[in-house]
A and B are shown apart, each in its own frame.
Chain A
Amino acid sequence: MTELGLRFFLSLTQIAVVVVIVIVTVLILTLAERKVLGWMQDRMGPMEVGPYGILQPFADAIKLFFKEDIVPAGANKFLFTAAPLLALIPAFIGFAVIPWGPDWTLEINGIIYKPFVISDINIGILYILAFASLGAYGIILGGWASNSKYSLLGGLRSAAQVISYELNVGLAIIGVIILAGSLSLVKITNAQSGWFWHWYLFAFPAPQIFAFVVYVISSVAETNRVPFDLPEAESELVAGFFTEYSGLRFAFFYLAEYANMVLVSCIAAAMFLGGWNAPYPGTILELLGFPSLAWIENTMWFAAKTYFFLFLFFWLRATLPRLRYDQLMRFGWKVMLPIALANIVVTSIAVYLFPNS
């Protein structure tokens, strides 16, 4: 096999594994959301398909596959078809730079590659932010191409909301970037190894607690989740930008929303909570004499942190009512933005005063 072919094969394998993991996570999330929401509201959630309803995601998927694919009259067919893909691809493409496990390098036939990150590019986080904002196009175009009032209103709301809150996401992350001195998620995660007070949430010169809060709130808004679900507000806009979508295209939007949630949670875990680092130095499996299995523990820690954030999404949804539109804008521009900017200033000064910590 040529070197290029081998590289190609390795990358494709990694991509396939990551995509399967993300899709399985999304399947779990669709059930987990309904279950957790039900439990928090003294209900049971889905109970019919399989024991305790655990096969519900498959039933949903099969139903969506076999549904009629309706294109409304007067819709722009090309954009109507392209919009779900425009929403789905950016949501999945961001996973390319997420480090899932320890920063190991393997060598196969002279090719050095990292097994736990598809591509360790030096602008990792910037790349994710860039593609996340492309995802807004899918929503806006889907809303516009449907030729429906509700869809258009949902798309417009989403445009305004995503733009204002993406700014806050970017600014909240800058504090971490200043501390780490790198845009690569792998380097950022490596810099947080050791005890849990090395995580950037608690790190010494400038703990990023405020940035973390801003990031969590803004990422909830960016993924259009309750309490910031104005683009798809059920009680006002039927279903917002995907009112007219059905069948597989609807499934794509659905998948994109949940994949975005997973992506945002992964970034939060990697940037603020130390990614795959355990809260103690090293790993227990390494101490027990299985250094080659240590990646399992690290990956589990990453999964635990990610799932904590995903649980937080459900938790917020069960607790909070939807914001009014002017409240959303005022909160984004007048509260979140100054906090994020102040955090950058404070972090910069702290890093300048303690350059070696």
Chain B
Amino acid sequence: MNRLKQWVKTITLYEIVAGMKATLSHLLNYKPVTLQYPHEKRTLPDNYRGMLALLRYDDGTEKCVGCDLCEAACPSRVIRVISAEVPGEPTKRYAKEYYMDMTRCLFCGMCVDACPVDALGMTREFEWAVYDKRQLHLNKQQLLAIGDRSFPVREKRLELQHPNTAFFNVAFKHVPQKPV
């Protein structure tokens, strides 16, 4: 009986007809999942990790203190920092040169986590296709420019804090906390 049923299904092309019914139902209830990408873009998730950028304080000075921790944290050796003393202030350092080779970056965000002064940020930019891959070798000015256009609202410099707190991000009770 079961074999007879199977045979009838075979000669009436039952399974093929069932499949064709499925495809036809998709044609009739046409709801495309396509996003017409250059014309319409998807909403990015809140924690989207896009292009990296260097940030500034609201008075326009760079946040980066040239500590090299991002370079140490980077798993694919994207970052190269050349650190130097701030002229006239022997206790302060800054990044004299700062390079990122974005051809290698895998957007893990470990440099951002490693930064003690929150000088690095991940923007929501992702359209960075270029014809010449040397254009993805970014210097400090370019990275700061990305930060400027992606984070127009800048963090205030914490004026009350001891100069060393900026280095080590140590929270003192008498110093106002940075917003997390």
**Which A residues contact B (CB, under 8 angstroms)?**
36, 38-44, 47, 213, 315-316, 318-320
* Distance between A312 CB and nearest chain B CB, rounded to angstroms: 9
Residues of B within 8 A of A320 (CB): 16, 19
Given contacts A42-B31, A44-B32, A319-B19, 14 further A-B contacts (CB under 8 A): A36-B27, A42-B33, A43-B32, A43-B33, A43-B34, A44-B34, A44-B36, A47-B36, A315-B20, A315-B23, A318-B23, A319-B22, A319-B23, A320-B16
Sorting the interface of chain B by its residue count into under 10, 10 to 19, 20 to 34 or 35 or more gives 10 to 19
B131 touches A (CB below 8 Å) = no
Q: Can you report 22 residue pairs joining A to B where beta carbons are below 8 Å apart?
A: A36-B27, A38-B32, A39-B32, A40-B23, A40-B24, A40-B26, A41-B26, A42-B33, A43-B33, A43-B34, A44-B34, A315-B20, A315-B23, A315-B24, A316-B20, A318-B23, A319-B19, A319-B20, A319-B22, A319-B23, A320-B16, A320-B19
Residues of B within 8 A of A36 (CB): 27
Residues of A within 8 A of B26 (CB): 39-42
- The proximity string for B residues 75-108 relative to A, scoring 1 for CB distances below 8 Å and 0 otherwise, is 0000000000000000000000000000000000
B30 touches A (CB below 8 Å) = yes
Q: Which B55-79 residues have a C-beta within 8 angstroms of A?
A: none
Residues of B within 8 A of A316 (CB): 20
* Distance between A215 CB and nearest chain B CB, rounded to angstroms: 14
- The proximity string for B residues 1-42 relative to A, scoring 1 for CB distances below 8 Å and 0 otherwise, is 000000000000100100110111011001111101000000
Find out whether the CB atom of B27 lies under 8 angstroms from the CB atom of A40: yes
Residues of B within 8 A of A38 (CB): 32
A318 to B16, CA, bound (A): 12
User: What is the chain B residue whose CB lies nearest that of A210?
Assistant: B11
Residues of A within 8 A of B23 (CB): 40, 315, 318-319
Given contacts A319-B16, A319-B22, A320-B16, whether A39 and B30 have CB atoms under 8 Å apart is: yes
